[in-house]
Amino acid sequence: MPTYQKPPTVNDDARAIHIYREAARIISEKGFDATSMGDIAEIVDLTKGGLYYYIKGKKALLYAIMNFVLNLLEEDVIAIAREGDDPDERLATLLAGYVRLVIDEPSSMNILVNEEEGLDAAYRPKVMERKRAFTDFLRESIVAVLERQDRIPKLDPNVAAHSVLGMVHGVVLWYKNDSTIEPDDLVNQVTQMALRGLIVDPPSTPDPKVTRTDVERSRPRGRHAA
């Protein structure tokens, strides 16, 4: 049992993060199953064996990526939306923040949404619970808005919530940053479309300053994190 503990070097951390991000990118492109550990090793200039110095296993890697983006979701989107009092404003903030997250972290978000079957059975419930918490919050926010209107025909909050989710998740499948439309514009348009589907007279999209995703705060930390 060594008494000396080496302080964590900056480089270790940077290397690990680099691996997580590159892995997320390639997994998002090719799919989890179709991406081999060799593929991942190659793009971070390691051999497969070397990769296992940083990564516990393929399943753990997937779980780590999902946790990374779930942290962002809770800290930078949900928490901020919770601060709002007015239901309309709250929903608008929530939606804008969520769209921004999808734009800022398309790879991880894509994986979170589309690769749940690849999760280890031991991890799955934890991820599902956190996803459910978000869906619940979104649905409640929608209900609060719908209650102040008398729409005919009645809109089922569950249908509404999932429709909005689908709309936002779809962004990851087609939006490329180099296209003609700016990220801020996209956030605005998608948010407005969703709100108009729900609210008769929606507020304008909130100021983007509060919705910018803060990557640094939620990255995976330490070796074999997650």
Residue closer to a second copy by CB (options 15, 135) is 135
Q: Binding to a second copy by residue 162, rule CB under 8 A? A: yes
Inter-residue contact 75 to 58 (CB < 8 Å): no
Q: How large is the angle between the packed helices 124-146 and 58-72, nearest 10 degrees?
A: 20
208 interface partner picked from DNA, a second copy, none, CB below 5 to 8 A per type? none
Give CA angle at 57 (52, 61), nearest 5°.
105
Residue that is written with structure tokens 């070796």 in the block: 223
Residue closer to a second copy by CB (options 16, 65) is 65
Q: How far is the CB of 169 from a second copy (least distance, A)?
A: 6
Residue 184 makes CB contacts below 8 A (sequence gap 6+) with: 208
Residue 152 makes CB contacts below 8 A (sequence gap 6+) with: none
Q: How far is the CB of 29 from DNA (least distance, A)?
A: 14
Residue closer to a second copy by CB (options 75, 116) is 116
- Identity of the amino acid at 38: G
Residue 208 makes CB contacts below 8 A (sequence gap 6+) with: 96, 100, 184, 187
53 interface partner picked from DNA, a second copy, none, CB below 5 to 8 A per type? DNA
Out of 15, 39, 130, 192, the only residue in the binding site for a second copy (CB under 8 A) is 192
Residue closer to DNA by CB (options 66, 92) is 66
The footprint of a second copy (CB under 8 A) covers: 29-31, 33-34, 114, 117-118, 153, 155-156, 158-160, 162-171, 173-175, 181, 185-186, 188-190, 192-194, 196-198
